[in-house]
Chains A and B, each alone.
Chain A
Amino acid sequence: MEKFQTLTAIVAPMDRANVDTDAIIPKQFLKSIKRSGFGPNLFDEWRYLDHGEPGMDNSQRPLNPDFVLNQPRYAGAKILIARENFGCGSSREHAPWALEDYGFRVIIAPSFADIFFNNCFKNGILPIVLDAAAVDKFFKAVETTPGYRMTVDLQNQVILIPEGETISFEVDTFRKHCLLNGLDDIGLTLQHVDDIKAYEQKRKQQAPWLFN
């Protein structure tokens, strides 16, 4: 996993609540057996005017000019601001894979769906929860200021905005540690092999039917 330390980038807005993982990456793209290459199909049904299928040359497809990420002012954005319950629905990790492949490394919203939130951390994306009023301020700033950028500093858990303000955010200790160092948590868990084996021995005595 790629490390995340600090990032300064253009901010793009996704101004609707309950953006679900079917919208983030429609089901036809879930047929891939790879974990890369989903970026061109991020928000496919909103982003293009035609119907997308795997294997199409996406550069030849008609773009929806009304879709926010198609506006030139948000080209190169790596930070996405969103509304309540972002990433609800399916557990498909293809959703953070698509966001990451497109270029997003930070998503800021008042709330996230649990599974999506967890999946982001496994893929080098930092999801940040801020209160709805703070997020709303960002939406207004992004709308009125073309090229609006911010800096996200994970080590110090702060967001620096052009107005000069510093906004702090919360992140779990373990997830922060993994993200800062780009750690694969399977490797971390396998440091506890003896604990897992001891648990299994004890559990076999208590609940042998689970090991049939």
Chain B
Amino acid sequence: MTAQTLYDKLWQAHEVRDNGDGTSLIYIDRHLVHEVTSPQAFEGLRLAGRKPWRTAANLATPDHNVPTTDRNKGIADPVSRIQVETLDQNCTEFGITEFKMNDVRQGIVHVIGPEQGATLPGMTVVCGDSHTSTHGAFGALAFGIGTSEVEHALATQCLILKKSKAMLIQVDGQTDPAVTAKDIVLAIIGHIGTAGGTGYAIEFGGDAIRALSMEGRMTLCNMAIEAGARAGMVAVDDKTIDYVKGRPYAPSGEMWEQAVANWRTLVSDAGAQFDKVVHINAADIQPQVTWGTSPEMVVGIDGKIPDPMSFSDPVKREGAAAALKYMGLAANTPMNQIMPDKVFIGSCTNSRIEDLRAAAAIAKGRKVASNIKLAMVVPGSGLVKQQAEREGLDKIFIEAGFEWREPGCSMCLAMNADRLEPGERCASTSNRNFEGRQGQGGRTHLVSPAMAAAAAVSGHFIDVRELQIGK
């Protein structure tokens, strides 16, 4: 038999039919639903008199619009409130399980799927959200879809897809202990560019990837979309299986053994052919900070803002110049001289327990610098929040001067009340530094949780290793 990539195996296992025109009908095992991209899809079902094909395949939660402060007061913005209420009504009408705003299991869809075991190895997972690539960390084929496809998945449990090309990004060797999954993925995006993965499904491999925890692999796959790839994935190993075991939606007993035997095959075969292979040397990766308005505009903390004139491609040169103008930054400024106004630790990229532990380790015994107007920590789910509180992380953050909030997407995209004011600069653990992403006129620098906490207590970006020395 021909050696197959992990992507080939996942594709083949879900192909309902080859349509003979370059597309296939692909079966969807898990559909995650949130309030922003689903109302028009449910409305479409109603107008056509259709019902969900397999109700149990869907799991819903509100995350984008929910407030991160006192939830007993409900949602102040009436437009946000209607969107969340519409999700509640649609889930009731169509019989879909929903973790509502005040359920402890509520959280960001890409945090709760894995947390509940609703994301399993070998699944196809879709959601009307580009960061669905996160779930590929489990050896799943997971990708974001638009609202028309949300409706299609609801109505037919399938999608019409064209197979992507396969790319292997091999991160060889070991990273410095201070370098996290976030730094690895930002360095990858800096290397291949935000369109480098367009048309590909990316598998991440190599020693540095195997060394990552499941939380780290989720961070990595989460940002595959920022490299242009709809799907990112990591092969199954013991860490994957250990993480899934015992979770509410995971199989148990005899079926668990059967599932594990199947999941063990979810690796690319030796000699499998990829359309493109990229090698990255793990030891070269420094803690990363973005300087512009695209995730590819990134350098190590030891670096400087590049001079736009140094780009030979005129489109890139103009892009860099426009980005610096928007960011209010000058070429050749050392990264560690840049001073944020706000610090945001959260988002589907970096709001899991390991992320909060890493940030708390830096915050412990320190104080948020006086020039920082707001430093906030937004856990990814109610259960992450509970876990962090059991570990006393909330107290560490609060004592240091951070705000400890309720779970949701929050200031990653500022659909709720959490946002930057025009001109404000933010050290953010989220995934996009686009213009206006965190609030109109807001300026975003993407970093890891430890680097965000380090910026909060130092008042400027700083190599986190300087704070780790002597600990």
**Which residues of A line the B interface, CB within 8 A?**
16-18, 20, 22-23, 26-28, 30-35, 45, 51, 54-55, 83-85, 88-93, 96, 111-115, 118-119, 122-123, 172-174, 177, 185-186, 188-190, 192, 195-196, 199-200, 203, 206-212
Contact = CB atoms under 8 A, between A and B. Distances in A.
B158 A90 contact: no
A91 B29 contact: no
B25 A33 contact: no
B37 A91 contact: yes
Interface in B120-179: 120, 122-123, 128-130, 132, 143-149, 151-152, 155-158, 160, 162, 164
B146 A93 contact: yes
B43 interface: yes
B147 A35 contact: yes
B330 interface: no
B22 A88 contact: no
Interface stretch (B2-10, B389-397, B429-437): B429-437
B316 A174 contact: no
B160 A174 contact: yes
B198 A33 contact: no
Contacts of B155: 186, 189-190
B195 interface: yes
Contacts of A207: 122, 259, 262
B16 A84 contact: no
A107 to B, nearest CB: 15
A30 B157 contact: no
A35 B40 contact: yes
A118 B199 CA distance: 11
B319 A17 contact: yes
A114 B195 CA distance: 10
Nearest to A207: B262
B324 interface: no
Contact of B83 (A31, A112, A113, A123): A31
Contacts of B22: 172-174
A22 B436 contact: yes
A56 B48 CA distance: 32
Contacts of B132: 91
Given A16-B318, A118-B146, A210-B120, A174 B258 contact: no
B258 A208 contact: yes
B82 A33 contact: yes
Given A33-B39, A113-B195, A23 B435 contact: yes
Interface of B: 16-17, 19, 21-23, 25, 27, 29, 36-37, 39-40, 43, 48, 50, 53, 56, 64-65, 77, 79-80, 82-83, 86, 120, 122-123, 128-130, 132, 143-149, 151-152, 155-158, 160, 162, 164, 194-195, 198-199, 225, 228-230, 249, 251, 255-256, 258-259, 262, 294, 315-316, 318-319, 322, 413-415, 432, 434-437, 440
Contacts of A196: 16, 25, 27, 53, 156-158
Contact of A113 (B122, B143, B145, B198): B198
Contact of B434 (A20, A93, A114, A119): A20
Given A18-B319, A172-B162, A123 B43 contact: no
Nearest to A22: B434
Contact of B195 (A22, A84, A93): A84
Contacts of A22: 413, 432, 434-437
B156 A174 contact: no
Contacts of B21: 172-174, 177
B440 A85 contact: no
A203 B415 contact: no
A203 B255 contact: no
Contacts of A203: 27
B318 A28 contact: no
B319 A114 contact: no
B167 to A, nearest CB: 13
A174 B19 contact: yes
Contact of B29 (A23, A27, A206, A210): A210
A19 to B, nearest CB: 10
Contact of B148 (A30, A119, A173): A119
A209 B258 CA distance: 9
Interface centre among A18, A54, A85, A188, by most B CB within 10 Å?
A18
Contacts of A185: 152, 160
Given A45-B436, A96-B146, A172-B22, 7 more contacts: A17-B319, A22-B437, A33-B43, A84-B195, A93-B148, A111-B195, A172-B21
B294 A18 contact: yes
Q: Which 7 A-B pairs have the closest CB atoms?
A: A93-B146, A209-B251, A122-B148, A33-B39, A119-B146, A91-B144, A85-B195
Contacts of A88: 194-195, 228
Given A16-B322, A17-B315, A27-B415, A45 B146 contact: no
A114 B199 contact: yes
B146 A115 contact: yes
Nearest to A88: B194
B25 A195 contact: yes
Contact of B415 (A16, A31, A35): A31
Given A83-B315, A88-B228, A27 B148 contact: no
A207 B261 CA distance: 11
A189 B36 CA distance: 25
Contact of B145 (A28, A115, A210): A115
B321 to A, nearest CB: 11
A172 B132 CA distance: 25
B194 A18 contact: yes
Contacts of A192: 16-17, 25
A89 B294 CA distance: 10
A54 B79 contact: yes
Contacts of B43: 33, 35
Contacts of B435: 22-23, 45
Contacts of B160: 174, 185, 188-189
Contacts of B164: 114
B144 A115 contact: yes
A199 B16 contact: yes
B225 to A, nearest CB: 8
A137 to B, nearest CB: 15
